[in-house]
Amino acid sequence: MFKTRHPLPGTAPATLTALAEGEGLPTVIHLVEYSPAGVSERIVSTVAELPELGLTDGKTRWIEFNGLGNIDALRAMGEKYNLHPLALEDVIHTGQRPKADTYENQLFLVAQMVYRDEQDRLCGEQVSMFLFNGLLITIQEDDQRDVFDPVRERLRVGRGWIRKLGSDYLAYALIDSIIDHCFPILECLGEALEELEDELLDKPNRACVGRLHEFRRTLVQLRRVIWPERDLINSLLHDESGLVSKQAKVFLRDAYDHAIRIMDLIESYRDIAAGLLELYLSAVSQRTNEIMRVLTVISAIFIPLTFVAGVYGMNFDNMPELHQPAGYFVCLAVMVSIAAFQIAFFKRRGWL
């Protein structure tokens, strides 16, 4: 579900190693500058064209560094903005646990973004952020599949608080978008679980069990992502570096509530999935018991009939009624009577 990349054993800390050929997408740097008066966007060809840190022109800047195919550009970005080497290493080695690390004059944030691809498969991607006063740098592998389009649209039209507040609010908006996009995914999972429950009650089969295990695995992965996302927001709420304002913390509390709601949904669906597995086992056991009951009743009916047929099939010369002209029909009548009596008795006892 999530891309993971680890350093080679024995590699020195803070070492930036280039990705394997064909693994990283070409690097595209997108610069957004905005203020309450307006917004401007442009593609930057080199890191040298990016604005310096600490400009006092009243604008907030968002640098989107998309694609990790150019490791030299990432190094240049680190040198220009004094990004900590350990943080840059975490950017390359994806699959990090969501977290907030404080460095000198900057906050390094890691979030895990969940989305559905073109085949409606659940996918995930790491989003790394460097938060400064008036500047936010986001680094991700593929910007074509992110969940930030609503944030970009709010910036363009000037809706809400996003142009009025600083880079800390922008970081909140991106994290909130990541969390909120989990709701439709969980809604789809909930509907699929309800359909699976109906199918298990109607006709349980092994295919249902396979789908159920897939749902449980997805819920475990989502829980592994959302739980530390909550801790990430909590770290920002208690930030003492001064990079997160009191105004942004008010909105972060709302994102924290959303993360709690998602955790509650995940736990509820995990309980439902566990209950569905028990339901499947109970349904299979009940179906087996019904089959065994029918087979037992049939066997119980044929046991006395087999006994009668066996006794009169021995063909001894001195057996009673052996040479009676109507003996065959009398024997059939007795066998039918025995079977009818047993069926009536089983029905009265509720065994049929």
- Asked if residue 138 and residue 222 are part of one domain, the reply reads yes
- Asked if residue 297 and residue 159 are part of one domain, the reply reads no
Residue 18 lies in a domain: no
What is the C-alpha to C-alpha distance for residues 345 and 340, in angstroms, rounded to an integer? 9
Name which of 135, 130, 159 is nearest 60 in CA terms.
135
Which pLDDT belongs to residue 137? 92
Residue 321 lies in a domain: yes
Residue written as token pair 């119980």: 300
Name which of 26, 196, 188 is nearest 114 in CA terms.
188
Last residue of some domain: 282, 301, 336?
Answer: 282
- Asked if residue 198 and residue 96 are part of one domain, the reply reads yes
- Asked if residue 298 and residue 278 are part of one domain, the reply reads no
Helix (H, G, I), strand (E, B) or coil at 123: strand
Which pLDDT belongs to residue 62? 92
**Token pair of 199, please?**
């199918």
Which pLDDT belongs to residue 334? 80
- Asked if residue 75 and residue 56 are part of one domain, the reply reads yes
CA angle 191, 213, 202 (to 5 degrees): 60
* Burial class for 237, CB neighbours closer than 10 Å (0-12, 13-18, 19+): middle
- Angle (deg, nearest 10), helices 167-180 and 206-237: 160
Strands (E), 118-238: 122-132, 135-140
- Asked if residue 255 and residue 152 are part of one domain, the reply reads yes
The 10 Å CB-count burial string (b at 16+, else e) for 139-171 is: bbbebeebbbeebbebbeeeeeebbebbbbbbb
What is the C-alpha to C-alpha distance for residues 213 and 221, in angstroms, rounded to an integer? 12
**Token pair of 8, please?**
């080679």
Which pLDDT belongs to residue 169? 92
What is the C-alpha to C-alpha distance for residues 209 and 227, in angstroms, rounded to an integer? 27
CB within 8 Å of 249: residues ≥ 6 apart? 236, 237, 239
Number of separate domains in the chain: 2
Last residue of some domain: 263, 282, 301?
Answer: 282
Residue written as token pair 């006994």: 307
With the CA atoms of 251, 257, 263 and 267 taken in that order, what torsion angle do they form, in degrees rounded to the nearest 10? -170
Residue 17 lies in a domain: no
Domain of residue 331, residue span: 291-349
Last residue of some domain: 232, 253, 282?
Answer: 282
What CATH number should be reported for the domain holding residue 303? 1.20.58.340
Name which of 171, 104, 90 is nearest 138 in CA terms.
171
- Residue type for position 345: F
Residue 237 lies in a domain: yes
Residue 114 lies in a domain: yes
- Asked if residue 112 and residue 188 are part of one domain, the reply reads yes
* Burial class for 269, CB neighbours closer than 10 Å (0-12, 13-18, 19+): buried
The 10 Å CB-count burial string (b at 16+, else e) for 177-200 is: bbbebbeebbeebeebbeebbebb
Q: What is the pLDDT along the chain (352 residues), one digit of tens a residue?
A: 556 666 666 666 766 676 666 667 788 898 989 888 888 888 988 888 888 887 777 888 999 998 888 888 888 888 888 888 888 888 888 878 888 888 888 899 999 888 877 777 777 888 899 999 889 999 988 767 778 888 888 888 877 788 888 889 999 999 999 998 888 888 888 888 888 888 877 777 778 778 888 888 888 888 888 888 888 998 898 888 888 888 889 999 999 999 999 988 888 888 888 888 887 777 777 777 777 877 887 888 788 888 878 777 776 667 776 677 777 777 788 888 888 887 887 777 776 6
**Within 10 A of 230 (CB to CB), how many other CB atoms are there?**
18
Is there a contact between 268 and 219 (Cβ–Cβ < 8 Å)?
Answer: no
Which pLDDT belongs to residue 19? 67
